[in-house]
C-alpha cells in the first residue's frame, strides 16, 4: 500500500499558466478553465438553471460581480443584442 502523503509515481502536474489576475489556470482539452464570462451567457444560464449554476460555472468570480454581469446581459437581451 502506498503512503498517503506520497505522490503517485506516474503523476505529472497540469500545465499552469498565469491569468490576467495572476491566478493559475489549468488547460483542459486545450481550453482555459478561467474564461471571462459573457454577460448574455450568464443571463441565459441564470434564467435557465438558476444562480447556483452560474456560481458553479464561474466559481472564481464573486456573487456581486456575477449579478452585475447578469444585469448587463439582461439589458443586452432586452435591446435585442443577445
Q: What does the pLDDT look like over 51-69, one tens digit per residue?
A: 999 999 998 899 999 999 9
Q: What is the reported pTM? A: 0.60
CA distance 56 to 4: 29
Between these two residues, 79 and 34, which has the higher pLDDT value? 79
Task: State phi, psi for 31 to the nearest 5 degrees.
Answer: -120, 145
Specify the 3-state DSSP secondary structure of 31.
strand
Would you state the pLDDT for residue 2?
52
pLDDT at 44 over 90: yes
Amino acid at each position: 500500500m502506498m503512503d498517503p502523503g506520497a505522490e503517485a509515481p506516474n503523476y505529472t502536474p497540469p500545465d499552469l499558466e498565469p491569468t490576467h489576475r495572476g491566478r493559475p489556470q489549468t488547460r483542459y482539452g486545450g481550453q482555459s478553465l478561467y474564461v471571462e464570462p459573457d454577460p448574455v451567457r450568464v443571463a441565459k444560464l441564470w434564467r435557465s438553471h438558476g444562480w447556483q449554476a452560474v456560481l458553479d460555472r464561474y466559481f472564481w468570480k464573486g456573487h456581486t460581480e456575477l449579478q452585475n454581469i447578469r444585469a448587463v446581459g439582461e439589458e443586452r437581451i432586452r435591446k435585442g443584442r443577445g
